[in-house]
Structure formats: structure tokens, C-alpha cells
Amino acid sequence: MKKMRYVAIVIAVLFLATACAGMSETEKRTGTGAATGAAAGAVIGSMTGSWAWGAAAGAAAGAAGGYIYDQHKKSQEKAYEDGYQKGKQGTTK
């Protein structure tokens, strides 16, 4: 029985890894946050008596965190690009 559970987990992880191929960076970061949050929430929830509610709450919190992280990274990239363009315009060689 435990062997079947491990096989199912490995197959699920492989499907999740290949499913990200056509996703945008925002979708990848939000999805990664949701998956990580669900896993952590399930572990914490199983200790308190309800792994399903823990996984659901963890997925929601993780998705929000992944989206916020994505927006932060995008603002960093934009600031870098703006600075790069200003630097190029200031060079008179």
C-alpha cells in the first residue's frame, strides 16, 4: 500500500513538472506558490486534525504569495530595464 502511494506521488510530480511548459512566468510562480502552500498546509493541517482544510488554506496563501513575488520580480526587471535604457541614452560614444 505504501509503495502505491509513493508511485502515485512520483507520477503526480512528473505531471506537474511537464505541465508548466507553456505557462507564463506569473502562472508558474503562482502555481508553485499554491503547490508549496498546499503541501505545507496539508502537513500542518494533519497535525491539527484536518489535512484537507490545511491544504486548502495553504494553497490559497501560497498562490497569493507566489503572485505577490511575481509582481515584485516584474517591478525589479522594469527598474533594471529603465535604468539600462537611461544609461544607453546618456552614453555619447
- How sure is the predictor about 91, in pLDDT bands with cuts at 50, 70 and 90? low
CA distances in angstroms from 23 to 20, 26, 27, 72, 78, listed in the order given? 5, 8, 6, 18, 20
pLDDT of residue 16: 66
- Give yes or no for a contact between 77 and 59, defined as CB atoms under 8 angstroms apart: no
pLDDT tens digits for 42-67?
888 888 888 888 889 999 999 999 99
Which range marks the domain in which residue 47 is found?
Answer: 25-90
Q: Does residue 35 lie within any of the structural domains?
A: yes
Greater confidence, 75 or 7?
75
Residue burial 14-25, b: 16+ Cβ < 10 Å; e: rest: eeeeeeeeeeee
pLDDT at 35 over 70: yes
Q: Does residue 7 lie within any of the structural domains?
A: no
Q: Does residue 58 lie within any of the structural domains?
A: yes
Q: Does residue 34 lie within any of the structural domains?
A: yes
Task: Report d(CA 36, CA 84) in Å as an integer.
Answer: 34
Q: What is the mean pLDDT of residues 34-48?
A: 88
Quote the pTM value. Answer: 0.69
